[in-house]
């Protein structure tokens, strides 16, 4: 697959002053990682908005900061709550020689005979799968072929999924990925928000930028 490269420049403008950057057609962002100091950056909004919304959380990218390339994952995309336009992006720099853990999206492919012919209902048990591997082996998504689900009650579990070599699955092998039932089961999910500690410069700058974005929303 063709390598996705985003061109970026270092920025001195942080906090509430990023409003001017957005008005000039730039998207503020931050790049950070375990072995580098946080780097505030700006990117061309028009160019990045064509690609970034379709990038998965496990897709390896390159951010070129004034000629210096960094392999990264998209850690967070902040969107306008009404217009759904991009307001800010966080990139996590990774080392190509060190394994990392990531949640990879599960994509259901094919057609289940139990659904098509027996009026079964497809129920997904999970949308992502946690894996560990080198960045070069990290898949954008994991495809699960549901054409093997031929009878009501047929299921696929983590242990049934074909995983490319070089990737270790950290999920429970007996965890259900997808099943076919007579009727959709009602599942209540508890959403737990993870709060990760990041360098103070990131939190301070982002807080001010989010406040600025909120002010723009209320005035716009």
Q: Quick one: which of 104, 51, 43, 102 has its CA closest to 70?
A: 43
The span from the CA of 141 to the CA of 161, in Å, is 12
- Residue ranges of alpha helices (H) inside the chain are 18-23, 45-48, 113-116, 200-219
| 195 domain residue, yes or no | no
| 145 domain residue, yes or no | yes
Q: Are residues 108 and 166 in the same domain?
A: yes
Select from 59, 94, 129 the last residue of a domain: 94
The span from the CA of 158 to the CA of 218, in Å, is 45
Q: How many domains does the chain have?
A: 2
- State whether residue 83 is helix, strand or coil: coil
Q: Are residues 58 and 40 in the same domain?
A: yes
Instruction: Provide the whole-model pTM.
Output: 0.73
Domain span at 111: 100-181
pLDDT per residue as tens digits for the range 31-90: 999 889 999 999 999 999 999 988 988 999 999 999 999 999 999 999 989 988 999 999
Q: Are residues 66 and 123 in the same domain?
A: no
199 and 38 in contact (C-beta within 8 Å)?
yes
**Within the chain, what is the greatest distance between any pair of CA atoms?**
61
pLDDT per residue as tens digits for the range 92-116: 999 999 999 999 999 999 999 999 9
Select from 25, 59, 94 the last residue of a domain: 94
| 189 domain residue, yes or no | no
Q: Are residues 87 and 25 in the same domain?
A: yes
Q: Are residues 124 and 64 in the same domain?
A: no
Q: Does the pLDDT value for residue 158 go beyond 80?
A: yes
Q: Does the pLDDT value for residue 186 go beyond 80?
A: no
């Amino acid at each position: 697959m063709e390598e996705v490269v985003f061109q970026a420049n270092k920025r001195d403008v942080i906090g509430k002053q990023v409003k001017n950057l957005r008005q000039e057609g730039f998207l503020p962002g931050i790049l950070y990682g375990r072995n580098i100091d946080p780097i505030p950056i700006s990117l061309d909004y028009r160019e990045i908005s064509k690609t970034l919304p379709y990038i998965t959380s496990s897709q390896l990218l390159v951010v070129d900061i004034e000629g210096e390339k960094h392999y990264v994952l998209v850690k967070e995309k902040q969107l306008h709550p009404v217009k759904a336009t991009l307001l800010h992006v966080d990139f996590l720099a990774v080392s190509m020689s060190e394994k990392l853990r990531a949640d990879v999206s599960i994509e259901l492919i094919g057609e289940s005979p139990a659904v098509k012919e027996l009026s079964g209902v497809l129920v997904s048990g999970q949308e992502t799968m946690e894996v560990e591997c080198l960045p070069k082996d990290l898949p954008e998504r994991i495809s699960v072929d549901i054409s093997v689900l031929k009878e009501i009650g047929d299921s696929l579990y983590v242990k049934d999924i074909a995983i490319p070599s070089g990737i270790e699955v950290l999920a429970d092998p007996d965890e259900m990925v997808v099943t076919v039932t007579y009727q959709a089961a009602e599942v209540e999910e508890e959403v737990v928000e993870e709060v990760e500690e990041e360098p103070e410069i990131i939190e301070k700058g982002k807080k001010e930028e989010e406040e600025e974005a909120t002010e723009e929303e209320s005035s716009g």
